[in-house]
Amino acid sequence: MTDMFPLLLLLPLLGCLFVLFAKKNDNNSFHVVLFTLLSNLAIIVRLLTQIHRDNNDLQSFHFSYPWLESKGIELAMEANLFSLLVLLGIYVAFIIAVVGLLPQQRKNKSQMLLGLYFIWNITGLLCSNDMVSFYIFFAGMLIPLFLLIGLYGNIKKNSTLYLFFAFNYAGILCLLTAMLFVYKYHQGNVELQDIALIKMPVGSAMVVWTSVCMAFISRIPIWPFHYWISSINSGLRSSLVCVMTNMLPLTGLYGFLRFWQITIPKGILPFVPVVEIFGIMTMLFIALIGLSHKDFLQKLFSYNTVYYLLFLLTTIMLPEGYIINIAYSLITFLIINASLTVLDLWAENSCEENNCDYRGILAYMPRLAIIFAFFVLVAVGLPLSAMFWNNFVLISAFFRVSFTHGLLMMTAIAIISMALLYELFIMRDTSNKNPILEIEDISDKKVTFFVAVIIFLFMSFFNPLWFAF
């Protein structure tokens, strides 16, 4: 079974190669991407099944590649329960995003190629177990994302696009700084969990951990760095690119989780309260912005930010035991996120095609309305998926640590939930007397697909690993 693990990384690369030589303006590249995603999903489920069957949560799968032996660099890859669970969420989210592409978008070869390359990078990031491979995949993600946002982001200001690049590039260079300092004191590559154990002077430790923090914060829209990530989200109209940008903070969050696996390093300890305060303030601030926004995708961006910050604060403030709750929550969170993005883009597309108002659109599309409502209700935290239990555990733990912190977080979550519910109300509201009589609802195939996703989520309410047989 371990032999299947390298395939996880190999398949997306092979897929890229096939897409590269696929015909233009054809669905071939779309099929290649879908096939790659499904194959990798099957491998992930199989690996999870093995862990579940052996009843050993600490079990992991390994492989290594002797890359640069003279410099002591061997690339070590590892998949454990946490990374596999997050990968599961990511792959299901990507499948939803790819299925959600409009017919014209499916024929877009460059989008498919860059999307698959991004998937390869994010898979590698979640499987990397050493500093160098982590850096390579962390940095590699910027290229497809930058190109896709530039191509499909409808960004009018040149400066916005460049600042997005520069901000992320600076983050990459920060991680490179940390990596080179660690390399200097360890004389070779080092596994991620051992970084905190390396002995180095106080000043150097400070540089390493500050650089690590800056690198990951560059991916998480925490105040005052939130603007460059939020500004690129507004014009996106491709479900694949939307899902990709929404996963950007996940890479930062995962970085924190891996680097601070055992404990928060001493070098950065004095700054932790500052990050906590900024994190909670950003949660409230972004939730309020989400409430005031009129665009659903912007509200969804705010929702994502609030939840990513919740997970980040869990990493910083709560003991290690809660990490698995983040993983279970993340699966549902990523799926909800992708589903809502796709459904909203379908609704918007229907409005454009029929030249009608966005307000009340769901009243004319009953099938879409039911599915949309389900996902909004799951997103706001109703007991319909594993997210309910895990968020309950996390927030109650926050209340135990600090009542004020817990209360503020709860307030932020309540505000952003209200924002989503209000949007659902707007989309079903027919008071503006939209003159349209008939709008084509989503097809049977799409309904079947989303019913399967709903069943997947609903079953996770009872057992998050129900599919691992």
Contact residues: other proteins, CB under 8 A: 67-71, 110, 135-136, 139-140, 142-143, 147, 150-151, 158, 161-162, 165-166, 169-170, 172-173, 176-177, 180-181, 183-184, 207
In terms of CB distance, is 70 or 431 closer to other proteins?
Answer: 70
- Taking the complex as a whole, the smallest distance from the CB of residue 221 to other proteins amounts, in Å, to 20
In terms of CB distance, is 135 or 228 closer to other proteins?
Answer: 135
Q: How many helices and strands (H and E) does the chain possess? A: 18, 2
* Residues with Cβ within 8 Å of residue 356, at least 6 apart in sequence: 350, 434, 435, 436, 439
Question: If we measure between CA atoms, which residue out of 239, 283, 247 comes closest to residue 446?
Answer: 239
Separation of alpha carbons 275 and 281, rounded Å = 10
In terms of CB distance, is 121 or 339 closer to other proteins?
Answer: 121
Separation of alpha carbons 337 and 247, rounded Å = 10
In terms of CB distance, is 150 or 381 closer to other proteins?
Answer: 150
Separation of alpha carbons 107 and 279, rounded Å = 40
In terms of CB distance, is 151 or 356 closer to other proteins?
Answer: 151
CA distances to 32, 99, 300, 413 from 428, in Å: 37, 24, 18, 23
In terms of CB distance, is 241 or 424 closer to other proteins?
Answer: 241
Question: For 11-125, where are the E strands, in sequence order?
Answer: 60-68, 73-80
Contacts 24+ apart (CB under 8 A), 134-142: 134/192, 134/255, 134/258, 135/172, 135/175, 135/176, 135/179, 136/75, 138/172, 138/175, 138/215, 138/251, 138/255, 139/172, 139/175, 139/176, 141/248, 141/251, 142/168, 142/169, 142/172
- Taking the complex as a whole, the smallest distance from the CB of residue 205 to other proteins amounts, in Å, to 14
- Taking the complex as a whole, the smallest distance from the CB of residue 143 to other proteins amounts, in Å, to 6
- Taking the complex as a whole, the smallest distance from the CB of residue 438 to other proteins amounts, in Å, to 36
Separation of alpha carbons 463 and 460, rounded Å = 5
* Residues with Cβ within 8 Å of residue 353, at least 6 apart in sequence: none
In terms of CB distance, is 104 or 158 closer to other proteins?
Answer: 158
- Taking the complex as a whole, the smallest distance from the CB of residue 80 to other proteins amounts, in Å, to 24
- Taking the complex as a whole, the smallest distance from the CB of residue 405 to other proteins amounts, in Å, to 35
In terms of CB distance, is 143 or 291 closer to other proteins?
Answer: 143
Which tokens go with 194? 């051992």
Residues 468 and 49 sit within 8 Å (Cβ to Cβ): yes
- Taking the complex as a whole, the smallest distance from the CB of residue 75 to other proteins amounts, in Å, to 11
Residues, the chain: 469
- Taking the complex as a whole, the smallest distance from the CB of residue 125 to other proteins amounts, in Å, to 12
In terms of CB distance, is 125 or 284 closer to other proteins?
Answer: 125
Residues 182 and 66 sit within 8 Å (Cβ to Cβ): no
- Taking the complex as a whole, the smallest distance from the CB of residue 170 to other proteins amounts, in Å, to 6
Distance from chain centroid for Cα 105: 22
